Homo-oligomer: A and B are copies of this chain.
Amino acid sequence: MADVAERAGVSTSTVSRTLRGLSTVSPEVRARVEQAARELNFAVSRQAASLVTGRTGNVAVLVPTLDAWFMGAALSSLAPLLRSAGMELNVYVIPDMAERTSFFERLPARRNADALLVFSFDLTDAETARLDGLGMPVIYVSQHVEGRPSVYVDDVAGALHGTRHLLNLGHRRIAFLETVGASGFSFSSNERLVGYRQALTEAGVPLDDDLVAATAVGDKRGTAEVLGRLLSLREPPTAIFAEQDEVAVAVIRTLRRTQIAVPERISVLGFDDQPLADWFDLSTVAQSPSDIGREAGELALRLIEDSQAEHERHVILPTHVIPRATTAPAPRPQDEQEADR
């Protein structure tokens, strides 16, 4: 910066003021400084600047993985937003418990970012408390944390509407397939289950715990077993609501391989609306990770400006049902009743 100052024939203070766009610089001097900076290919050192301003210009995000549709979409909308605010994006990937423990022990983001976005973890109270002491705004994304700024989708309403969609098609025996996630990724299972139950209760359909099962993404065998169990119930489901598209697709493949027609005999509904859903013509409940990313980013920027504002703000985003080809009217109930006589 001294070089630039010398070349422009001014002091470093003036260079600093110019480069930060302060208005207290005469146009003439400004032009000279800018030219000098350009000629010398000069860029301000964030490190040195942050040392005195106390702001790093970084936003940190804590994610369980980058290898998932949700994260990719969310960060793809978050990143340009931060950039246009002059902020850098710092990513911490915490794929397993070991990394997670180490992160919360060392808190490497400390003093290294102006805000932290925590994506999709089910944090313990101790972890939340630890983040409280981080000395920067922490925004919880895809999870609700009491009394802290959070951005998430209305999972209850999503599952409610999804279930209603199936009810409207005449289904009465509707199974719900939870995802048991790895690596602390929260799939909002509980919320979605609540919505499912709520819709059934609303419609006067009795709850049946036999219709609620769990499986893991990618666990083909497990999924097949779970399906086998559901289908061998005395009153098997005519529809299956999976709380994640990946699981829904696995279900469809398994059913079709077993010569069970989807949606003629069994309807399948997913949750997410990731590209996979379109590939498989899967009916699903859509959420928008890019909206989530954007809202979270905007909230972060506002909190950086004024850490008191919106201290406990919760941003709740909508979902909507997208009917495609895997949900259809339930097989006529009289058939089943006749079979029972």
Identify the A interface with B (CB < 8 A).
Answer: 41, 43-48, 50-51, 56, 58, 65-68, 71-73, 75-76, 79-80, 83, 88-93, 95, 99, 106-108, 110-112, 133, 249, 253, 276, 279-280
Contacts and interface: CB of A to CB of B under 8 A. Distances in A.
A111 B67 CA distance: 29
B79 A93 contact: yes
Among A65, A72, A73, A92, residue most surrounded by chain B Cβ atoms (within 10 Å): A72
A73 B107 CA distance: 25
22 contacts: A41-B133, A43-B111, A45-B111, A47-B48, A47-B112, A48-B51, A65-B72, A66-B71, A66-B76, A75-B93, A76-B93, A79-B91, A80-B93, A80-B95, A83-B99, A83-B108, A88-B90, A88-B108, A90-B90, A90-B91, A276-B276, A276-B279
A50 B75 CA distance: 27
B93 A91 contact: no
A202 to B, nearest CB: 34
Q: Could you tell me the dominant secondary structure of chain A's interface residues? A: mixed
A72 B80 contact: no
How many chain copies? 2
Nearest to A89: B91
B88 A279 contact: no
A279 B249 contact: yes
Among A89, A93, A133, residue most surrounded by chain B Cβ atoms (within 10 Å): A93
B72 A76 contact: no
Contacts of A56: 47
A42 B99 CA distance: 20
Closest A-B pairs by Cβ, 10 of them: A79-B93, A67-B72, A67-B76, A43-B110, A66-B75, A47-B50, A47-B47, A66-B72, A66-B76, A45-B111
Contact of A46 (B41, B92, B111, B133): B111
A277 to B, nearest CB: 11
A83 B92 contact: yes
B93 A90 contact: no
Nearest to A133: B41
Contacts of A110: 43
Contact of A95 (B71, B76, B249): B76
Among A47, A88, A108, A279, residue most surrounded by chain B Cβ atoms (within 10 Å): A47
A79 B103 CA distance: 13
A46 B93 CA distance: 19
